[in-house]
A = this chain, B = another copy of it.
Amino acid sequence: MKPKKEYVILPKSNNDKEVTDLGLGSYIPEGSHRIINKDGSFNVVRKGLSYFETFSVYQWLITMSWLKFGTLIFSSYLLINIFFAFLYYIGGESNFEGIEASTEFHKFLNEFFFSTQTFTTVGYGRINPVGIYSNTISSIESLIGLLSLAVATGLLMGRFVKPAAKIIYSENALIAPYKDITGLQFRIANKRADHQMVDVEADLLISHINDGKVKFDKLTLEYDKITFFTTTWTINHPVTEESPLYGKTEKDLKDSNAEFFILIKGFDDTFAQIVHSRSSYKYNEIIWGAKFVSIYAAPEDGKTIIDLEKISSFTKAELPESKILSAEN
């Protein structure tokens, strides 16, 4: 039940703060500001590298919303065809067979639609290139069309098969009675009904200010791994004497600007890959003296029923005396 050694940052007498660069920084934001947002993203800004050095086009295209992605596809299609229509228009009408247009705008339109027919390789052929110029450009355009299809296929697959856990976290973490001591508890559930998770592991860390120093500690869990994650999991850190929370009050957590970080990892049945999820609780999201209410409804037809609306529901609960002090004591 001792915290794993490799994570605990012991007080170091003659050591400057650089050595505590363990991936989460050496600064704890105050008040409601946080290091890890509820959605798992990090409040870190990088400077010193140009935008292009850190930017990944692929990543951007994979993670944007479907609406944005669709809009991007359609407007790229429009722009590419306007560009090629312009090239065809420059070449002049004599480069084509089948253009029937009375005005310059209609000619351009004809060439725009010819371009779409070339880019998508539909190639009806009523309008078709006769000169070297138009033939050369259209042979390039149809190749670009095919390559764009290849890229679109890759992007769509990347968007579909983006392995990530969808975990629902209880809104608050609780300081709850546990055996004859207390436990820091929160509850998680798998949001996806059709993706089973197995071999799920949890990591819980705390960042707090201790003797004026930023400290990160790993918190030991009652169970840090479960085999099947079908219903819910109440993750529990028992506040034993070894816990950095031992003897701490609600005010202590506030004064030390505490934030709890969670990393959930597990094997996703559908993706056949390890997926993970991150979240955090700030000190003001901790409820002292409470316990979660059951998430189970009465079973039907021998089936377990869980009601995910209750994932955050708790009731008041008496904490044992003198082990961990309640607020303002």
Contact = CB atoms under 8 A, between A and B. Distances in A.
Given A18-B292, A132-B109, A273 B272 contact: yes
A198 interface: yes
A26 B296 contact: yes
Nearest to A196: B42
A160 B271 CA distance: 13
A18 B139 contact: no
- Residue of A129, A149, A178 with most chain B CB atoms under a 10 A cut-off: A149
Given A35-B304, A62-B270, A301-B33, A149 B146 contact: yes
Given A120-B139, A161-B158, A306 B25 contact: yes
B223 A6 contact: yes
Interface stretch (A231-239, A248-256, A321-329): A231-239
Contact of A227 (B19, B62, B261, B295): B261
Contacts of A300: 45
A152 B150 contact: yes
A6 B299 CA distance: 27
Contacts of A77: 143
Interface string A198-238: 11100101000000000000100011111111111110100
A21 interface: yes
Interface string A284-328: 000000011111110111111111111100000000000000000
- A contact patch SS: mixed
B43 A177 contact: no
A24 interface: yes
Contact-size category for A: 35 or more
A73 interface: yes
A86 interface: no
A151 interface: yes
A27 to B, nearest CB: 5
Interface in A30-52: 30-31, 33-36, 42-49
Contacts of A33: 301-303
Nearest to A165: B272
Given A59-B270, A147-B152, 15 more contacts: A7-B226, A12-B179, A13-B180, A23-B200, A27-B299, A43-B303, A46-B193, A48-B309, A49-B191, A56-B192, A56-B195, A124-B124, A126-B130, A153-B154, A154-B157
17 contacts: A19-B185, A21-B187, A21-B231, A26-B294, A30-B302, A36-B228, A42-B196, A45-B300, A46-B306, A47-B297, A47-B308, A54-B191, A59-B194, A77-B143, A121-B122, A123-B124, A163-B272
